[in-house]
Amino acid sequence: MKTDQYALITGASSGIGEAIAREYARRGKPLILTARRKERLDALAAELGRSVPVTVIAADLADPAAPKTLFEAVQAAVLKVDTLVNNAGYGVPGRYLSASWQTHRDFIQVLQTAAAELTYLFLPAMEAQRHGRILNVASLAGLVHASAGHTLYGASKAWLIRFSECLALESKPRGVHVTALCPGFTYSEFHDVNGMRESISKLPKALWLTSEQVAKIGVDAVEAGKTRVISGRINNLIAWMARYLPDAVSNALVGGKAKQFRNAE
């Protein structure tokens, strides 16, 4: 792993993004941290800055101008980025028509458009030096059958997985590894933000991994050049079942379980 170039991590203020920042810091990788909440980024930078160089650039990726502005800020600071982690994301609870179009538009901007644009901006330099890493934090939800509620979440994560797979085929011959990380249920504040903590906590503990475990799995995978990685044995089994069981059976299983924790109203 090169330690003279930076890892840029979006959504680094909490959850899996913060854990990935800690994992890279543990490995001696300089960091550029970005998210909306600058105070959290500053606190994390103060901590991790004791072991590696850390730069904070606050940005709201729901703003269509943010990816280019972020790229220009990195260029102005004369920082070289050979690792991009597209982690920023969240969920929109309820059925599709229960939220405004502005809400959905911002969601698509953050989870799909910003990830695609940041990749487009930072990838050329990686390919030019024939070394780079792009870790896209997708979800097990992008691999299993759909359920009611959180209408765009699984669809966006499925898109991110396919985007990563195509990009990996294009870029690996040029020295750039691209990996889609597909976590299942992960201990973080994701479910608190979505108002799902009470219902989601009823699920078996065996389904859960910590953010730290997921981060290590993801970083190990992109360094090894794996195109896709699913965190945890149970999640791998779920993905296998979703792929090989008849659609009617998979739909019934996913839909039935999702009703326990997803608000579809």
Task: For residue 162, give the amino acid letter.
Answer: R
Closest-CA residue to 83 (of 140, 7, 153, 32): 7
CA 99, CA 92: separation in Å to the nearest integer? Answer: 8
CA 110, CA 120: separation in Å to the nearest integer? Answer: 15
> Residues 139-186: pLDDT tens digits?
999 999 888 889 999 999 999 999 999 999 999 999 999 999 999 988
pLDDT grade, residue 190 (50/70/90)? low
Q: Where do the domains of the chain lie, and which CATH numbers do they carry?
A: 6-258 (3.40.50.720)
What's the DSSP call for residue 112?
Answer: I
pLDDT grade, residue 201 (50/70/90)? low
Return the pLDDT at 186: 86
Q: The tokens 């969601």 sit on which residue? A: 107
Residues with a known catalytic role: 153
pTM: 0.89
CB hemisphere CA count around 159 (13 angstroms): 13
Q: Is the pLDDT of residue 206 over 70?
A: no
Return the pLDDT at 194: 47
Q: Is the pLDDT of residue 48 over 60?
A: yes
Angstrom CA distances, 163 to 12, 146, 157, 196, 255, stand at 22, 19, 10, 29, 26
> Residues 74-93: pLDDT tens digits?
999 999 999 999 999 999 99
Return the pLDDT at 87: 98
Closest-CA residue to 135 (of 8, 2, 253): 8
pLDDT grade, residue 244 (50/70/90)? confident
Return the pLDDT at 191: 46
Q: Is the pLDDT of residue 248 over 90?
A: no
**DSSP per-residue letters across 13-26:** TSHHHHHHHHHHHH
Q: Indicate the average pLDDT of the chain.
A: 90
Q: What are phi and psi of 84, to 5 degrees?
A: -120, 125
